[in-house]
Amino acid sequence: MKNLLKLSSLLAVLVSIFMACSSDNDSTDDDDDEGTATLHAAFEAFNTDATTIYLDGSNVVIETTGLPDHETVYWGEGNALYREEPGVALTPSIMTSNNNAVTITVDATPNLTGNTVSTQVNTIGIAVSGSSLFNDQEGNGALDAAAASLDWTGAHIGPGVYHYHLEPKAFSDDDDNLVGILLDGVFLYGRKCNSTGTYPTDLDASGGHTSTTQYTDGQEEYHYHIINEIYSTTGSYLAFAGPYQGY
Ligand SMILES: [Zn+2]
Ligand SMILES: [Zn+2]
């Protein structure tokens, strides 16, 4: 009788150990965070005076005043950030004459299906300065005709917002700096890649590839680079000509 009692209590201990183990496994499975988006570390590089950046479900919303944190002739005389640029064929607008505000919503995780989507003549992304990025087109044609109006950092004001077409030298000049984020949720970097310290040689048709960056904590991630070919007579480089890879 005594032995039987011992046996049954031993069984009870064994059963409780087994249950403890299996419940541990269950709780590990319950820690499944798939689908819970987090704000990418690269957003820390954005101009906080101009931008408000937050998660909305699986999307990231980027609200910006569009006003950059660097000098340009397009601030207009009298502004603290006004820079004299006699060589620039000015458009009729200055920063304060236009509404430069833009809000974009992008996937927190780009949808890299292999499908590509062309860029439009409008904001194609938001730069770390807070201003818009545009592609290689201008209004009703190629950018060449409007290139004379681009300031020292590859930007101008068309009828709409202040925007960059070229390598924005105010914050990326032949380096691996973060340039901005495009509408497909993919980040755009300078002409060099942080993964190698030099110009990448494995870029696809969009100027993109998969490697680590200074914001990915050792993980490989798809991103674009500024096109490392002198564009037209500008002596500079196109920021992005498309197509998007992340829609
Ligand atoms: Zn333009
Ligand atoms: Zn790269």
Contact 240, 125 (CB under 8 A): yes
Nearest bound ligand to the CA of residue 138 = 1
105: three-class secondary structure by DSSP = strand
CA 212 to ligand 2 centroid distance, Å: 7
Using CA atoms, how far apart are residues 137 and 123, in angstroms rounded to an integer? Answer: 11
Band of the pLDDT at 145, cuts 50, 70, 90?
confident
Q: Dihedral angle at the C-alpha atoms of 68, 71, 74, 76, nearest 10 degrees? A: 110
pLDDT > 80? residue 141: no
pLDDT in tens, 11-62: 554 444 444 444 444 444 444 444 578 999 999 999 999 999 999 999 999 9
CA 163 to ligand 2 centroid distance, Å: 23
Contact 97, 127 (CB under 8 A): no
CA 2 to ligand 2 centroid distance, Å: 72
At 36 the pLDDT is 74
pLDDT in tens, 149-201: 999 999 999 889 999 999 999 999 999 999 999 999 999 999 999 999 999 99
pLDDT in tens, 231-246: 988 899 999 999 999 9
CA 20 to ligand 2 centroid distance, Å: 46
Q: Where are the domains of the chain?
A: 1-32, 41-237
Q: Half-sphere exposure of residue 223, counting CA atoms within 13 Å on the CB side?
A: 29
Pairing of strands 162-164, 132-133: parallel
At 22 the pLDDT is 44
Mean pLDDT (the chain, rounded): 89
